[in-house]
Amino acid sequence: MLDPYTSGELVRDYLMRALYGTFSNVKRIEPVAYANLAFD
């Protein structure tokens, strides 16, 4: 519920947390299947 114009950095921070959290969970839940998974 944040305004992207006045709270742009905060919105970006929330999105980055979601991205890195999901990435971490995928690698932790199935480490063998996603052992070589990396960000481009």
Q: What is the dihedral of CA 14, 18, 24, 29, to 10 degrees?
A: 150
pLDDT tens-digit series, residues 1-40: 788 889 999 999 999 999 999 999 999 999 999 989 887 8
* The pLDDT of residue 2: 80
Count the residues in the chain. 40
* The pLDDT of residue 16: 94
Please tell me the distance from the alpha carbon of residue 10 to that of residue 15, in angstroms, as a whole number.
Answer: 9
DSSP per position, the chain: ---TTTSHHHHHHHHHHHHHHHHHHHHHHSTTTTTT----
